[in-house]
Structure 1
Amino acid sequence: MRTSKAIRILGGLMLACGLFLIGLMGIIAVNIAPQMLHPGQEIGGSTWTGTAEQGRMALTLFSMVIAFGLVATLTGLWQIATGQRSRVVLVVVILLAFALFAYARYLTGALDG
């Protein structure tokens, strides 16, 4: 059984990881979205060689990672504030992680073919 202090420390770590995911994936998505949504056009010195559909699929994956980061951030805040873990939030995180993994597997197969 973890103490309230240990849960708060882990919440701080989760908060940091969530903010890192949101920040990193947000910056990447904002910078490459114009190229991915306009394939074949040179934008900012780069050209996306895939299709617009592939670009949207990749941006959807980025959005899912950002959503996962947001849930991690909120979970970390909850743990810091209460010193407890929530089973409901744990189930949401597991379901979101599964959806993210499943979509990434689908996307990998769709982009190969």
Structure 2
Amino acid sequence: MITGAHTVLYSSDADADRAFLRDVLGFPHVDAGGGWLIFTAPPSEIAVHPTEGAPKHELMLMCDDVDRTIAELKDKGVEFTSPVQDQRWGRLTSLRLPGGGEMGLYEPLHPTAHS
């Protein structure tokens, strides 16, 4: 029935964010026509968290070693917008996308569902 998930990032500079995903993160992609790149995402999980406010959605990339990944991405010019926060479930930070948005990056300390 369900064959995959399609994540959409809305951006004020879609071309810059596509270049970031392609050139900095190195995500494989296809051109759906006219330079409209669709990227292969790493294995993923879906978690549902309770909220007292309006429902929202987030995209966080996962890594095995957040400190090493931050160093590698900083060498490529990536700006991080928050220090690493140690949470019960993982080590979390945020990075700035070229289009102005932010994306989470974390090292899970919980069992992962995608392995």
TM-score (norm 2): 0.20
User: TM-score, length-normalised on structure 1?
Assistant: 0.20
Structure 1 or 2: larger helix share?
1
Higher strand share: 2
Structure number with the bigger relative contact order (C-alpha 8 A, sep ≥ 6) is 1
Structure with greater Cα Rg: 1
